Amino acid sequence: MTDAMTRFRLTDPALAPVAEKVLAGERLTRDEGLVAATTGDLLGVGRLAHHRRSELHGNRTYYNINRHLNPTNVCVASCKLCAFYVPWRCKDDGWTYTVDEAVEVAARDVDESVSELHIVGGLHPKLKVDYYEDLFRALKERFPWVHLKALTMVELDFLAGLSRISLDDVIRRLKAAGLGSCPGGGAEIFDEGVRKQICDHKTDGTRWLDVARAVHEHGLKSNCTMLYGHVEQVEHRVDHLIALRELQDETGGFQCFIPLAFHPENTELDHLPPTGGRLDLQTIATSRLMLDNIPHIKAYWIMLGEKTAQVALHFGANDLDGTIVDERITLAAGGQAGAGMARRRLEAVIRETGGEPVLRDTLYRPIEADVA
Ligand code: V47
């Protein structure tokens, strides 16, 4: 029994070298990541991840007051993992807002307390870069205090192709129009074999990383994600984390990593079971341990559910995301957690775990003002 094993009350000797490295602040290897992701000692790996989380953030637990806006759910990609999209030219249940309509939809829920609009949608074959420029300008004019966290790497890549301009021009133009940062969606699992099975018509893993690099080179921060609990194997998850870690070494542009629990309902993969608590928590913990250079790990309560998200705050996560109000992607796939949560409730959820709630803006700066 090593000192580290005793200190973290580990029951799996394979975790001993991982624990030594955690104590020394050293980077874990791929093999050590695999041990963290597969050990039977779930509570042990959770304690290691919580140790890292506490070193980085103490018991500070971040949340924000945000709103989601999905300008369209029409999408040409037809990803098997997705229940949100409708195919192009399908009349049923699809929406595509004009710029004015999108601003009015946002206006239903945005007031002075809201600091962020999270804007993502389908790959619509008629919405070129000028649509998003007009949209961002109109939103900034109406809500100048709101940060626009908009468009995944997949959407930016699609816009460049559709608009027949370079990716650099897309980013430059959207930044000039008010884009503040980018969300982390669309990364799924980078492995090409897995991508073929769950999202074969969209931006591949290498390109996703290249687009993120370009976003960071333009001085914008972004988040990153990993969709787990479908057809992937544990090796795919660990390799995905390492690919993100390597890019972060280069650019430092990722603020936050969000493991996304796959929701199968209403998708073409609805024969798969939903994720269980063990996979959810072990994935959060492994992420915290492997991603030594990404400051924040988000337990996205909409996908994890309130209770698992609370436990995740003791397994390496230090952020819960936000108030949201109108979330449609998880809801379409059978999400049970709801589509929004009041600020006071989010704070209570954090406090119940022993955490200190920190209201933040999109760039993780604490917001002091009491905006109720
Ligand atoms: O890109 C799609 C995933 C993502 C399903 O950056 C699904 O702060 C589970 O990226 N089951 C959108 N997941 C969500 C996302 C996100 C959410 C919150 C915060 C941030 C951030 C980013 O959700 C998609 C895709 O990867 N997704 N369908 C599904 N059935």
pLDDT category of residue 372 using cuts at 50, 70 and 90: very low
DSSP 156: H
- Ligand 1 center–CA 185 separation, angstroms: 5
80 burial level (CB within 10 Å; 0-12, 13-18, 19+)? middle
Q: Taking all residues of the chain, what is their mean pLDDT, rounded to a whole number?
A: 97
Render pLDDT for 21-31 as a digit per residue (tens, 0 to 9).
999 999 999 99
Q: Is 258 in the pocket of ligand 1 (CB under 6 A)?
A: yes
Give me the pLDDT at residue 1, please: 79
Amino acid identity, residue 5? M
In angstroms, rounded to a whole number, what is the distance separating the alpha carbons of residues 86 and 200?
16
Which of 296, 329, 336 to mutate to test ligand 1, by most ligand atoms within 8 A of the CB atom?
329
Burial of 263-287, coded b for 16+ CB within 10 Å and e otherwise, reads bbeebebeeeebbeeebbbbbbbbb
Render pLDDT for 213-255 as a digit per residue (tens, 0 to 9).
999 999 999 999 999 999 999 999 999 999 999 999 999 999 9
In angstroms, rounded to a whole number, what is the distance separating the alpha carbons of residues 232 and 294?
23
Q: Is 333 in the pocket of ligand 1 (CB under 6 A)?
A: yes
Count, residues in the chain: 372
Count other C-beta atoms under 10 Å from residue 1's C-beta.
Answer: 8
Q: Is a pLDDT exceeding 90 seen at residue 116?
A: yes
Which of 152, 154, 227 to mutate to test ligand 1, by most ligand atoms within 8 A of the CB atom?
227
Both tokens of 6, joined, read 């005793």
The DSSP annotation for 47-92 comes to HHHHHHHHHHHTTEEEEE-EEEE-SB-EESS--TT-SS-EETT--T
Task: Give the number of the atom of ligand 1 that is nearest the alpha carbon of residue 227.
Answer: 26
Query: Cα-Cα-Cα-Cα dihedral of 206, 79, 70, 98, to 10°?
Result: 100
Q: Is a pLDDT exceeding 50 seen at residue 186?
A: yes
Query: Closest Cα to residue 122, out of 180, 79, 176?
Result: 79
Give me the pLDDT at residue 165, please: 98
Q: Is a pLDDT exceeding 70 seen at residue 368?
A: yes
- Shortest-distance Cα residue to atom 27 of ligand 1: 82
Give me the pLDDT at residue 369, please: 57
Contacts of 2 (CB under 8 A, 6+ apart): 16, 19, 20
Render pLDDT for 39-96 as a digit per residue (tens, 0 to 9).
999 999 999 999 999 999 999 999 999 999 999 999 999 999 999 999 998 877 799 9
Burial of 332-344, coded b for 16+ CB within 10 Å and e otherwise, reads bbebebeebbebe
Distances (CA, A) of 346 to 125, 225, 266, 359: 38, 22, 28, 10
Cβ distance 114 to 148 under 8 Å?
no
- Ligand 1 center–CA 300 separation, angstroms: 9
Cβ distance 115 to 361 under 8 Å?
yes
Q: Is a pLDDT exceeding 70 seen at residue 166?
A: yes
Task: Give the number of the atom of ligand 1 that is nearest the alpha carbon of residue 225.
Answer: 10
Task: Give the number of the atom of ligand 1 that is nearest the alpha carbon of residue 267.
Answer: 30
Mean pLDDT score, 132-136: 98
Q: Is 314 in the pocket of ligand 1 (CB under 6 A)?
A: no
Mean pLDDT score, 183-207: 97
Mean pLDDT score, 349-355: 98
Backbone angles phi, psi at 50, to 5 degrees: -65, -35
In angstroms, rounded to a whole number, what is the distance separating the alpha carbons of residues 329 and 127?
20
- Ligand 1 center–CA 150 separation, angstroms: 13
Render pLDDT for 145-164 as a digit per residue (tens, 0 to 9).
999 999 999 999 999 999 99
In angstroms, rounded to a whole number, what is the distance separating the alpha carbons of residues 270 and 231?
12
Give me the pLDDT at residue 370, please: 56
Which of 225, 266, 301, 324 to mutate to test ligand 1, by most ligand atoms within 8 A of the CB atom?
225
Render pLDDT for 292-306 as a digit per residue (tens, 0 to 9).
999 999 999 999 999
The helix/strand/coil state of 320 is strand
Q: Strands 254-261, 221-228: parallel, antiparallel or unpaired by DSSP? A: parallel
Q: Is 327 in the pocket of ligand 1 (CB under 6 A)?
A: no
Mean pLDDT score, 111-129: 98
Render pLDDT for 2-42 as a digit per residue (tens, 0 to 9).
889 999 999 999 999 999 999 999 999 999 999 999 999 99
Both tokens of 189, joined, read 């699992």
* Helices and strands: H and E segment counts in the chain: 16, 12
Q: Is 184 in the pocket of ligand 1 (CB under 6 A)?
A: yes
Task: Give the number of the atom of ligand 1 that is nearest the alpha carbon of residue 263.
Answer: 11
